[in-house]
Copies of this chain bind each other. A is one copy, B any other.
């Protein structure tokens, strides 16, 4: 049960040209082809794409993801290295979330302040 690029595009919300671009960039070296050269994505490939999207959406650069994929292709001997990479990334994501939350509080304060000001403004202008 393989999928065409279009089906994968629909499942992953990644445009077909983006899937090809990722492949060119070395993010999807495992995707196989039919006799006529057409891409055939397996269930496993979809799992992989899921992880790649997760890493990308948390700010990992494509080059870094490529490194991770390359390590994975080398089998068990790189498990420790991959673990370390993900642990590093985890820290990074946690830091991002904290920063975001801090910024969020600032935005919330501003909203409160502007709301107050707006109430005053309405009274002064009636």
Q: Decide: B87 and A111 in contact? CB cutoff 8 A.
A: yes
Q: Mark A81-102, 1 if CB is under 8 A from B, else 0.
A: 0110011011001101101110
Task: Given A57-B99, A99-B57, A100-B58, decide whether A93 and B107 contact each other with a Cβ distance below 8 A.
Answer: yes
Q: Decide: A86 and B111 in contact? CB cutoff 8 A.
A: yes
Query: Residues of B contacting A118 with CB < 8 Å?
Result: 79-80, 83
Which size bracket describes the interface of A in this complex? 35 or more
Q: Decide: A107 and B89 in contact? CB cutoff 8 A.
A: yes
> DSSP class of A's interface residues: helix, strand, loop or mixed?
helix
Query: Residues of B contacting A93 with CB < 8 Å?
Result: 100, 103-104, 107
Q: Decide: A107 and B58 in contact? CB cutoff 8 A.
A: yes
Q: Decide: A101 and B97 in contact? CB cutoff 8 A.
A: yes
Name the one of B58, B82, B108 contacting A103, with C-beta atoms under 8 angstroms: B58
Q: What residues of chain A have their CB less than 8 Å away from a CB belonging to chain B?
A: 51, 54-55, 57-58, 76-77, 79-80, 82-83, 86-87, 89-90, 93-94, 96-97, 99-101, 103-104, 106-108, 110-111, 114-115, 117-118, 121, 124-125
